[in-house]
Amino acid sequence: MLGAKTVARAKLNLFLQVGDRREDGYHEIRSIMQGLELSDELYFRRTDGSGGKVVIRCNDKCVPSGGENLVCKAVEAFEDHTRVMGSSGVDVLLNKRIPIGAGLGGGSADAAAALLAMNQIYELEMPVETLMDIGARIGSDVPFCIQGGTALAMGRGEMIKRLDPLPPFQVVLASTGDEVSTREVYERFDSLLESGQAEPAAELDKVFEVLMGGIERHEFETIYPNLRNNLESATIAADQVREFKEAALGAGAVAAMMSGSGSTVFAIVSGMEQAAEVAWELGKEAPITIITSFADKGAEVIA
């Protein structure tokens, strides 16, 4: 197998509860994650390695092409686990559609797609569980981005439990286009936690139980008001996030929340007509607006 075409699907956090920093430097989290149809496209081609182990070309000049790119890290982790590449290499053409540094897991999704592609190119037929284990070494969101759908994430985010899929709700995304540093957001959150200004864990525990019950029973009227993200108060773009949420709800969205460490706001809407109305209103303030929908799967090799 000489090549593979993949899609790398974005993600949302319908619920995100961040706890204390662990001894390993990560934070303990509890999150309900949801895959999106919004995706990057990646084309992989096996080479003789003469041009380099991993060569990345991308339509977005802001995407790094060197070792800091999570696709490179994914190939490295794959080779560390399998030792099958030898002197060969891989060329990658990345068509970037997921906004960068926006809390949508774009880099993790690309890494997930890379692991699936390498598994196919080198004809190893490793089970998805093994790929998810490898992905956890690259980034906390990579295992979910391999699986996709609707899932509960625990630990630092790498412990994934599949949930019954939600319907393909229409979603409107609003982003400033500015890349957000996840590390800085978590540092500000730590300061809020230490000063007692973070949302009490007991309150979030109650909301989580109600939300999980709504998901299990497909009681959408229970889901909509119980979306939470306790990183919202720690983002430097808190005012912008609040404005996006208010605009979305004012235009008829049934729910609106920041995803991940931000600063993208997602709005769940009742249908395509409402999606267009919400996107129109958000577009007055947000440089980037995208209409997409929930997806019941993650990264995927399609050719």
- Of the candidates 197, 171, 21, 202, the one whose C-alpha atom is nearest the C-alpha of residue 104 is 171
Among residues 40, 73, 141, 245, which one is catalytic? 141
Clarify whether 96 is annotated catalytic.
Answer: no
Among residues 5, 11, 206, 297, which one is catalytic? 11
Clarify whether 133 is annotated catalytic.
Answer: no
Residue 174 bridge partners (DSSP): 265, 289
The set of catalytic residues is 11, 141
